Amino acid sequence: MPPVRRTRSAKATPAALHLTRFLPYRLSVLANTVSHTVAKLYETRFGITIPEWRIIAVLGGGETLSAGDIARRTAMDKVQVSRAISRMLDSALILRESGDTDRRKALLTLTPKALAIYTEIVPMALAYEAELTDALSDEERATLDQLLTRLQARADALATPAAPEGEEAVDA
């Protein structure tokens, strides 16, 4: 009997991997391209960064939130939020007031200056988003929405236990 011939599928050739077909890679590149573009948009027009934009976005409705609330809603970590808030205090975009029931929590509100930015920036943001999905039909847009939601849920489930929820993000 001849020795067992190692079959090709066993170990020899690992399925080839083309980076440009690899989903994590593609998501990363796409998210980066998009983030860079909008970051430059916000930066040149309003002098704010993406973390600051996110904070403006969640406070723009006039709500008053604590830093922790903001971190949860923006998927940024508390360090990032803390730093962004301190920048925004310097540039008079935000108001901080100690809560009286719990003095650990600081209640944050946008200043009129920030609200003005909000009013101007939201249409720009939506316009960019519209341009980005320009080539998609309404049905495709709905499908994309669907798929992203499901992928995010799956990614969260597969995420390292250290960050099971409230994932931090580079920018956007």
Partner DNA sequence: ACAAGATAGTTTCGTTTGAAACTGTTGCAA
Partner DNA sequence: TTGCAACAGTTTCAAACGAAACTATCTTGT
Q: Which residue ranges make up the site for its own copies (CB under 8 A)?
A: 11, 14-17, 19, 22-38, 40, 54, 57-58, 60-61, 73-75, 118-119, 122-123, 125-126, 128-129, 131-136, 140, 143-144, 147-148, 150-152, 154-156, 158-160, 162-163, 167-172
Region label for 90, one of left (φ > 0), alpha (ψ between -120 and 50) or beta (otherwise): alpha
Decide whether 33 or 143 has the Cβ nearer to DNA.
33
CB 74 within 8 A of CB 81: yes
131 closest CA partner among 28, 25, 34: 34
Decide whether 64 or 98 has the Cβ nearer to its own copies.
64
Q: Which residues neighbour 26 within 8 Å (Cβ) at sequence distance 6 or greater? A: 20
76/86 Cα distance (integer angstroms): 15
Query: Does residue 78 touch DNA according to CB under 7 A?
Result: yes
**In the bound complex, what is the minimum distance in angstroms from residue 84's beta carbon to DNA?**
8
Please report where in the chains the tokens 């309404």 appear, as a residue: 138
Site for DNA in 102-121 (CB under 7 A): 102-106
| The one segment of 12-20, 97-105, 113-121, 143-151 that binds DNA by CB under 7 A | 97-105
**In the bound complex, what is the minimum distance in angstroms from residue 14's beta carbon to DNA?**
26
- The angle, 0 to 180 degrees and rounded to 10, between the axes of the packed helices 50-59 and 67-74 is 110
Binding footprint of DNA on the chain (CB under 7 A): 49, 51, 66-69, 71, 77-83, 85-86, 101-106, 162-163, 168-171
